[in-house]
């Protein structure tokens, strides 16, 4: 690998693929949140109505549920108009935090037989805040936010009851609920820690694997990655195409290695655009590329190789970087190994270059000598001249 090749960042195709995956994930996440917001509105209306039916309606629920309903309605509008999801997190965290503080202060002052039930709602809300925090913030900040709200949710009810001489006979039950909530939050924190470290390690592993299997200059599979992929595709037979850029050394000598690298990138991009989904492409080494055509017949292999050769020859901008390719086809019979096809493709490529370059040559299993691809019209004349 040249110095210029090592200096080139990963190919744009990798970045585009990563951006496409992120866009799909964002779209799926947006749809999930739209469903949650719509379902939340229904739940909030039902809870609000049921609260009104109680003998002693909960004051905080009476006023907070309309606030939650308004927040969910705004969330629907915000998400439907495709605005940043992070804003939804921030608003949800702020509203839930305000309701937690209000419930922790107002509920003990309200007193009554429903005091314990009303305080239980507070700790369910703490779990929701914890989940939102881990979605919105990094692990350390989410821990700090949820721990802070939990301490407020534990301390404020006791402080308010002590300061106002509220008689509360179910103190043990309240402490039990608070401890249970603490255990649930600790479990969420542990899962979040595990997820964060697991994701980071997996990303590092995937990046290492990608770097090991990807040619940094062209973004194609390198030879190391091609071997297992070829083994997966050769069972049905088909053809191997070994492509070589004609007079590539002269391009480097005349224009410099940077221009040579650009030629390699352009050829790789042209080949990628010209292939079908089932066809496999990789950089074999130097100025050579390998294409696997699984399950094709000899005539179709010739047509596909000609299509690739013409596509590369048609790229003439800039004119000084215009190049042609020679293509050797190694046909693979059903049940044959890849080594036989590679040997035929290599022999056919050698013959194509000896015959004048910018042409396709095929080597079939049943024949002892390679055979040239048939050409027609002006294209045949240009190929025969080795242009």
Indicate the pairing of strand 360-363 with strand 325-332.
parallel
Burial, 147: exposed, middle or buried (Cβ in 10 Å; 0-12, 13-18, 19+)? middle
CA distances from residue 330 to 246, 268, 342, 343 in whole angstroms, order as listed: 19, 20, 6, 7
Give counts: helices (H), strands (E), the chain.
13, 6
Comparing CA positions, the residue from 273, 274, 250, 251 lying closest to residue 262 is 251
Length of the chain: 387
Which one is catalytic: 287, 288, 306, 364?
287
DSSP 364: -
What's the rounded Cα separation, in Å, for the pair 219 and 112?
69
Contacts of 318 (CB under 8 A, 6+ apart): none
Across-strand partners of 289? Answer: 243, 283
Sheet containing strand 288-294, strands side by side:
280-285, 288-294, 238-245, 325-332, 360-363, 371-372
Beta partners for residue 245, in sequence order:
325
Active site residue 320: no
Cβ neighbours for 299, distance < 8 A, ≥ 6 positions apart: none
Residue 139, number of CB atoms within 10 A of its CB: 15
How far apart (Å, rounded) are the C-alpha atoms in residues 95 and 73? Answer: 13
DSSP, residue by residue, 42-90: HHHHHHHHHHHHSSS--HHHHHHHHHHHHHHHHHHHHHHTT--HHHHHH
The count of C-alpha atoms lying within 13 angstroms of the C-alpha of 113, restricted to the half-sphere facing its C-beta, is 3
Catalytic (active-site) positions = 287
């Amino acid at each position: 690998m040249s110095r210029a090749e090592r200096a080139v960042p990963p190919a744009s195709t990798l970045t585009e693929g990563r951006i496409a995956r992120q866009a799909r994930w964002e779209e799926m996440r947006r749809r999930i949140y739209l469903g949650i917001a719509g379902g939340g509105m229904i739940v909030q209306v039902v809870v609000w109505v049921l609260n009104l039916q109680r003998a002693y309606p909960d004051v905080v629920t009476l006023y907070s549920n309309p606030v939650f309903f308004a927040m969910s309605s705004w969330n629907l509008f915000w998400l439907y108009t495709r605005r940043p999801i992070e804003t939804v997190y921030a608003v949800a965290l702020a509203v839930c935090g305000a309701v937690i503080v209000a419930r922790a202060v107002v509920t003990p002052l309200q007193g009554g037989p429903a005091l314990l039930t009303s305080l239980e709602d507070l700790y369910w809300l703490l779990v929701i805040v914890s989940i939102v925090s881990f979605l919105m913030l990094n692990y350390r900040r989410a821990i700090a936010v949820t721990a802070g709200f939990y301490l407020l949710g534990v301390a404020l009810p006791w402080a308010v009851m002590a300061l106002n001489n509220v008689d509360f006979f179910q103190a043990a039950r309240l402490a039990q609920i608070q401890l249970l909530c603490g255990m649930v939050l600790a479990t969420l924190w542990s899962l979040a820690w595990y997820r964060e470290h697991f994701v980071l390690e997996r990303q590092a592993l995937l990046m290492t694997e990608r770097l090991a299997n990807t040619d940094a200059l062209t973004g194609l599979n390198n030879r190391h990655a091609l071997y297992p992929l070829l083994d997966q595709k050769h069972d049905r037979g088909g053809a191997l195409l070994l492509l070589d850029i004609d007079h590539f050394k002269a391009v480097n000598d005349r224009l410099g290695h940077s221009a040579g690298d650009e030629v390699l990138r352009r050829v790789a991009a042209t080949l990628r655009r010209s292939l079908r989904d089932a066809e496999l492409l990789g950089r074999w080494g130097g100025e050579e590329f390998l294409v696997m055509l699984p399950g094709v017949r000899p005539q179709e292999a010739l047509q596909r190789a000609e299509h690739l050769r013409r596509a590369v020859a048609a790229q003439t901008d800039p004119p000084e970087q215009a190049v042609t390719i020679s293509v050797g086809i190694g046909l693979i019979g059903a049940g044959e190994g890849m080594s036989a096809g590679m040997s035929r493709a290599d022999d056919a490529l050698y013959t194509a270059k000896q015959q004048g370059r910018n042409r396709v040559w095929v080597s079939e299993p049943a024949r002892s000598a390679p055979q040239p691809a048939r050409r027609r019209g002006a294209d045949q004349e240009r190929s025969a001249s080795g242009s």
